[in-house]
Amino acid sequence: MQALVLAGGEGTRLRPLTLTRPKPAVPLVDRPFIRFMIDWLARHGVDDVVMACGFRAVDVRAAVGDEIPGGPSIRYLEEPEPLGTAGPIRLAAEAGMLADRFFVLNGDVLTDLDLTAHLAAHEERDALASLALYPVDDPSSYGLVRRGEDGAVRGFLEKPDPADIDTDEVNAGAYVLERSVLDLIPAGRAVSIEREVFPRLVGQGLYGLRLEGYWMDIGTPERYLQASWDILEGRVETAVAARMGADGTGIDELAEVEAGAMVSAPAFVDEGAQIAATATVGPRAVIGADCEVGEGAVISESALLAGCIVGEGATVEGSILAAGVEVGAGAAVTAGAIVGEGARVEAGAELDADARVEPGGIAA
Ligand code: GDD
Ligand code: MG
């Protein structure tokens, strides 16, 4: 089975993380995010992945590679300009890469939904297109899907107005499509599958299936962090479980956690990281490979990507540090800050709530 992964969005809501890396290549816990998706697809029999990437195809390729031992083959489709969520499907067909029936996935969703059941329902119903549906509290930032008992879709409303919300089921960004759907995708321009294709397929073989399991769009800082804790706490089925200890902390055997350091579950300390004896890490912390956490530093509710240095007595709380960030002694990075790759927070500085520091920048 083939899957086309839409991985060409700009990831604006995750800036500055996505200024130096495309969203699929942004690390989550211990691997580039997109690896979680590929593992999930492989578990459901996908052996051929087409990554639709946009202009940052090279970076995605560098993070993922062409082959994953025992995993699916991966090919990259580079769009000359962003073609939206349907345009890449046409481009893949024109490039001779597309099968007769295939999955299309939004490339920013961490999930373990049952794609095998999704495909079986599609076949049983003889559908042209099938949408995985998932219930959420507030559908307004998603695609609202109205359907009948038999699964036939009666309406598709992308980013609905509050007044139009009459169900909790939204488009989970995982489709099974028949090749004939191509007829509805105009060539040579960006096309939104949600706004231009699905509404036209209503009553014409478009079905929805509600699936149980874990599902999270990681495209905002809050959801990115929540997804990290959900992985550490085992709420979603992933390969990270093999690296977690029975006490709820995952400490790589190559990490150096000095005696006396406090590491509270859930937490993950990757290889080569050093945690000083009087430092406090967690609950809820990811310390990336080769990070250094100094004496008396406190890190909680935060994710540090590889190679960050947190000085003596500094605090990092509820924040994300991109790779290679340096936080000076006694500095406080709290309340939703995101610090871009290679940036520096000066000793003693206190960042404002929701602060953003650009890659390579200096925050005083
Ligand atoms: N290749 C390519 N080219 N991919 C793109 C492009 C493009 O021009 N534009 C967006 N994408 C990718 C994004 O990278 C992302 O993986 C996916 O398409 C969806 O785009 P988002 O920008 O993340 O959309 P959204 O989260 O607001 O809404 C979508 O996802 C929801 C579920 O998370 C819609 O599909 C909603 O209907 C859905 O409920
Ligand atoms: Mg999204």
Q: Who's near 106: CB < 8 A, 6+ residues apart?
A: 6, 85, 173, 174, 217
**181, 231, 204: which is closest to 4 by C-alpha?**
181
Q: What is the pLDDT of residue 246?
A: 84
How many other C-beta atoms lie within 10 A of the C-beta of residue 44?
A: 17
Q: Degrees (nearest 5) of the Cα angle 340, 272, 296?
A: 70
| C-beta atoms surrounding 187 within 10 Å | 12
Pocket of ligand 1 (CB under 6 A): 6-9, 23, 52-54, 79, 82-85, 88, 106-109, 142-143, 158, 170-171, 173, 190, 194, 217, 219
Distance between Cα 108 and ligand 2 center (Å) = 6
**Average confidence (pLDDT) over 206-231:** 95
CA of 80 to the centre of ligand 1 (A): 18
Go through the chain and tell me how many residues it has: 364
Mean pLDDT of the residues in the chain: 94
What pLDDT is recorded for position 71? 86
Is 185 within 8 Å of 83 (Cβ atoms)? no
The predicted pLDDT at position 62 comes to: 85
CA of 202 to the centre of ligand 2 (A): 23
Pick from 119, 162, 127: which is nearest to 147 by CA? 127
Residue closest by Cα to atom 21 of ligand 1: 9
Report d(CA 313, CA 9) in Å as an integer: 38
CA distances from 228 to 213, 232, 242, 320, 333 (A): 16, 6, 15, 11, 19
Q: Which of 20-24, 122-126, 304-308 has the lowest mean pLDDT?
A: 20-24
Ligand 1, pocket-test mutation among 79, 106, 169, most atoms within 8 A of CB: 106
Tell which atom from ligand 1 comes closest to the C-alpha of 139.
39
- pLDDT(186) > 90: yes
Q: By three-state DSSP, how is residue 63 classified?
A: helix
Confidence of residue 68 (pLDDT cuts 50, 70, 90): confident
Q: What are 255-282's pLDDT values in tens digits?
A: 999 999 999 999 999 999 999 999 999 9
What are the residues whose beta carbons fall under 8 Å from the beta carbon of 186, sequence distance 6 or more?
90
Mutate to test the pocket of ligand 1, among 4, 5, 6, 51 (most ligand atoms within 8 A of CB): 6
Distance 313 CA to ligand 2 centre (A): 37
Residue 9 CA to ligand 1 centre (angstroms): 6
Q: pLDDT-based confidence at 187, cuts 50/70/90? A: very high
Q: How far is the CA of 310 from the centre of ligand 2 (A)?
A: 31
User: What is the per-residue pLDDT across 162-177, written as a single tens digit (0 to 9) for each?
Assistant: 999 999 999 999 999 9
CA of 6 to the centre of ligand 1 (A): 7
Output the residue whose Cα is nearest ligand 1's atom 10: 9
Residue 302 main-chain phi, psi, to 5 deg? -135, 155
Please identify every residue whose CB atom is under 5 Å from ligand 2, which is an ion: 108, 217, 219
Atom of ligand 1 nearest to the CA of 10: 14
Rounded CA-CA distance 243/3 in Å is: 28
Label residues 109-124 b or e (16+ Cβ within 10 Å = b): bbbbbbbeebbebbee
At residue 160, the 3 state secondary structure works out as coil
- Please determine, for residue 55, whether its predicted confidence score (pLDDT) is greater than 80: no
Residue-level pLDDT at 11: 85
Distance CA 301, CA 278 (A): 18
Q: Name the residue with the closest Cα to ligand 1, atom 17.
A: 106
Atom of ligand 1 nearest to the CA of 54: 1
Averaged pLDDT for residues 135-139:
95
Q: What local confidence, expressed as pLDDT, does residue 33 receive?
A: 92
Cα(117) to ligand 1 centroid in Å equals 23
Residue 192: phi, psi to the nearest 5?
A: -95, 120
